Structure 1
Amino acid sequence: MIWEIKIYRLTIISFIIPLIIVLITGIITTPLALKDFQKLFDYDKKSSLYFWTFIQSTVSWGFILCSALMFSNFYFASSDIKTKTYNIVKRSSLAGGKHQREKRKPTFRIDYNGSQKELVFSNKYYDNMNEYKNVELKIKEGFLGFDILIGQKLE
């Protein structure tokens, strides 16, 4: 799950697309798992049976398929790297990791071809985060057509 989040942060994709993949996979696999759930669990209400079967199918099969698609886009990407510069639209920050909450990480939002993308940088950029105006991105096209961030530099 952690590598899925890392790959998602490096992939320029709307969160709606993985969400739709997960939900549609859950809808398709629910009828397939329903018979097994009926054998394993005794529910008073059929609605509870359908609900928990859908949740289990969505979480397991939905995220497995979504991860497989994101990994294939990332690892089978083209080797052509393009460099582009984008204006920073919004600034914010995230708390640091465990035992380092005070070391905040700056986040910058850019307008990437009509959609917003949030970029997370190291905490060493936090003190001067308001001075940066642009972000230079090194990008390559993923296997499924979603761009992948190879490098990012604040300007």
Structure 2
Amino acid sequence: MKAAQDVKLPFEAVVAQHGATVLRVVHAVVGHSDADDAWSDTFLAALKAYPQLPADANVEAWLVTIAHRKAIDIARAAARRAIPVADAPDSPAGERTDRHDLDLETAVGALPPKQRQAVAYHYLAGLPYAQIATILDSSVAAARRAAADGIATLRRTYPVIDTARNDHDPD
């Protein structure tokens, strides 16, 4: 007889449970314009591999690891893309009304890659530093330092972070 923790959820439930976390992570790592593609690529790869995933696996960490790899693939592909010279259509980010979110997205996007990833994985996905170290192929101390350095940089470059928590007046 199988224990309750050894029963795997249907994949649809995995997407429902972890989809928002994966989207926040890829959004922070690759930016708004490529986040949907990275999210889709992540869950397509996860769907293919899910039957072989052990029932007792940490699904969230597994998904963030896949998302990390897909985000790197997309970032590499973006670096190889031609830069358009004509007027490009407005990005969906232009339709956003929350200026603080757009400013924060810009500030996070300006972080060096390791810091941006460590901040996203720890503060957006809630992963412990040990798992972040595995994903980033570094030590726990290096993952912790990258996240701390990223947050310190954000505090310097985006001072709204500290005041936004106490500001209850909408824009």
Q: Taking structure 2 as the reference length, what is the TM-score of the superposition?
A: 0.34
The structure carrying a bigger strand percent of its residues is 1
Q: Taking structure 1 as the reference length, what is the TM-score of the superposition?
A: 0.37
